[in-house]
Amino acid sequence: MRLLLVEDDTMIGEAIRAGLKREGFTVDWVHDAGAAAQVLRTEPFSLMLLDLGLPGGDGLAFLKTLRQRGEELPVLIITARDAVSDRVSGLDAGADDYLIKPFDLDELAARIRALLRRKSGRPAPVITHLSVVLDPAAHRVSRDGTEVALSPREFALLQLLMERPGTILSRAQIEERLYGFGEEVESNAVEVHIHGLRRKLGAQFILNVRGVGYRVRPAP
The ranges assigned to domains in the chain are: 2-120, 127-216
Residue 7 pLDDT exceeds 90:
yes
Q: What percentage of the chain has pLDDT greater than the value 70? A: 100
- Compute the distance between CA of residue 67 and CA of residue 93 in angstroms, rounded to an integer: 8
Burial 97-113 (b: 16+ CB within 10 A, else e): bbbeeeeeeeebbebbb
Tell me which fold the domain 2-120 belongs to: Rossmann fold (3.40.50)
With cut-offs at 50, 70 and 90, classify the pLDDT of residue 33.
Answer: very high
With cut-offs at 50, 70 and 90, classify the pLDDT of residue 188.
Answer: confident
- In terms of phi and psi (left: phi > 0; alpha: psi -120 to 50; beta: otherwise), the region of 130 is left
Residue 177 pLDDT exceeds 90:
no
For residue 84, what are the contacts with CB-CB under 8 A and spacing of at least 6? none
> In the prediction, which pLDDT does 200 show?
95
> In the prediction, which pLDDT does 184 show?
72
Pick the CATH number of 127-216 from 3.30.360.10, 1.10.10.10, 3.30.1360.20, 3.40.640.10: 1.10.10.10
Please give the residue that has the higher pLDDT: either 118 or 182: 118
For residue 111, what are the contacts with CB-CB under 8 A and spacing of at least 6? 76, 97, 99
> In the prediction, which pLDDT does 186 show?
77
* φ and ψ of 54, to 5 deg: -110, 150
With cut-offs at 50, 70 and 90, classify the pLDDT of residue 210.
Answer: confident
> In the prediction, which pLDDT does 24 show?
86
> In the prediction, which pLDDT does 96 show?
95
> In the prediction, which pLDDT does 103 show?
93
